Amino acid sequence: MWRVNCWAGRRTIELGINYPRMTLVLGGEEKPREFTFADLDQAANGVARALVAKGYEPGERVAILSANRFETLAAYYGTMRAGLVSVPVNFKFPRQLIHYILEDCGAELVFCDAARKSNCPPGLPVVDFSADGPVGFENFLDHGPFQATTPALNEPAMFLYTSGSSGKPKGVILSHQSHIWVAETRLGNQDLSRHRYLIAAPLYHMNALVLAKLACVGHSTMVILPQFSARAYIEAIGTYRATWLTAVPPMLAMMLREEELLARTDLSSVEFGRMGSAPVSQSLMTNLKRVFSNAAITNAYGTTEAGPVVFGPHPQGLSQPELSVGCAHPLSSLRLVDGENRHAEQGVLEMKYPALMNGYHNRPDLKPPFTDDGFYITGDVFRRDENGFYYFVGCSDDMFVSGGENIYPSDVERMLERHTAVGQAAVVPIDDDVKGTKPVAFTILKSGQQTSVDEIKQFALADAPAYQHPREVWFVDEIPLASTNKIDRRAFKPEAVKRTGSDASRARPERSWPGQLAIDVSRIST
């Protein structure tokens, strides 16, 4: 048996290495590689031993800046085994944001791949997964057994950074306790050893990390792609006979466009499909059920701050409506709050259970999103039907989700207004069949200034995360203000719908995994 460093007191999750099907397969960018969990165990021990031998202290932060690969998981688990804090970093951020995160978390070391090495700040020690020689991963490892450090229950295990309404990424502090509780709760009494999980979302995303841990504790096979592409995803399903898919809806929407490849690929192995991190349309749900005729397709919800164990099946076995996220999980305490009413049928979702974050790292400027009695305030509005099923209604602020990415209009507006020709900007979402929603912008040019739509778009792509760039830009003479002297974005929404022909009435269910940055399709404009 081997241990992954997710502690609950003195007890660890034990993972068997004698299961022949417990393999890790990596393919896509390079020739596929296959590993056993014994290989992962040894590599994680090698990372932990090396960190200790080089003098790194428990509690210090170690960052990981890489596409999905075997070494990513080894570094992730090995760091925590040594009692250090793992910080997976969104490599799709611009360089300045990556530097901000590495400085903010206080990273003492960065594990990275060759493609991301240039985004590491000068002077910060780097271990290159792809390199040979002194800075290479294999040279870094100190092979041999390692007795995992035993941290306190609520001691930080990892930071996951997510963009906040202030415009600065927030470091969500997640404890060892939250790790073990989520893994054990998701596993329950299920025998998952026969399943093959396909993971294409990035391993800096809670969605992918949770699925990888579930595969570990369930003695299951993981099929890991470095990054998502629709064709590679489809081919992996057929080649590796994947039984379990967890994906952001835009991934699956893009996959459905590959009609010819889908038609000639055997998809009959898929038994479960779980969507999260973005709105799901009825048409997407219908088409997925048509393509994966043998699979149970469900909608899900969770947050970085509180984890994925929020909703579950109906206690009396009633079928979950397609656009519902389920009923309250029996181990979670949920309530809908509307003003002073904490028992509303529609209101802001508040939740409480052992997976809640410790707080935000180094952000005394933020009010902790917790009630006096310990409930996490999600900021998401839900309604509950007569059978106890929950449905996402909307956000309590202006935030919207595009392709699994959280977008705050004010952040995009401030970014656009840094352009020398832009005096003011207003950003609103419009519906999109692939991404759920996408940002568009109305701008007022400064007097005497000229620019073009393409120039504005290129500026946005160069100066901010790619998912924030407005897909349409219109120059206007006036931007209406609400009574509070803030931009009245609602006044722009009908005009944006009119100009694009988007369907503002399209049914939209819940968003899930707020605060998370998802998949490589965020770089694709539609």
Contact at 8 Å (CB) between 205 and 515? no
Give me the pLDDT at residue 45, please: 96
Q: Which amino acid is at 91?
A: F
Q: What angle do CA 217, 221, 226 make, to 5 degrees?
A: 110
DSSP string, 500-523: HT--TT-------STT----GGGG
Give CA–CA dist 434/247, Å, rounded: 13
Question: Can you read off the two tokens belonging to residue 476?
Answer: 């206007």
Give me the pLDDT at residue 303, please: 86
Domains and CATH numbers, the chain: 2-299 (3.40.50.12780), 405-510 (3.30.300.30)
Give CA separation, 132 vs 42, 44, 128, 180, in Å.
19, 19, 8, 35
Residue 55 φ/ψ region, left for φ over 0, alpha for ψ in the -120 to 50 degree band, beta for the rest: left
- Match 């539609």 to its residue by tokens: 526
The pLDDT tens digits for 501-524 are: 764 333 332 233 233 222 222 222
Give me the pLDDT at residue 481, please: 57
pLDDT in tens, the chain (526 residues): 233 343 332 233 333 334 434 466 665 556 788 888 889 999 999 999 999 999 999 999 999 999 999 999 999 999 999 999 999 999 988 898 999 999 999 999 999 999 999 999 999 999 999 888 888 999 999 999 999 888 887 899 999 998 643 457 899 999 998 888 888 888 888 888 899 999 998 899 888 898 899 888 888 999 999 988 889 999 999 999 999 998 877 788 788 889 899 999 999 999 999 987 655 667 678 889 999 999 999 988 888 898 888 999 999 999 999 889 999 999 999 999 998 889 999 899 999 999 999 999 999 988 899 999 999 999 888 889 999 999 877 666 677 888 888 787 777 887 888 898 888 788 899 988 888 889 999 998 887 888 999 999 999 998 788 888 999 999 988 777 543 335 677 778 888 888 887 643 333 322 332 332 222 222 223 3
Give me the pLDDT at residue 278, please: 59
Contact at 8 Å (CB) between 413 and 426? yes
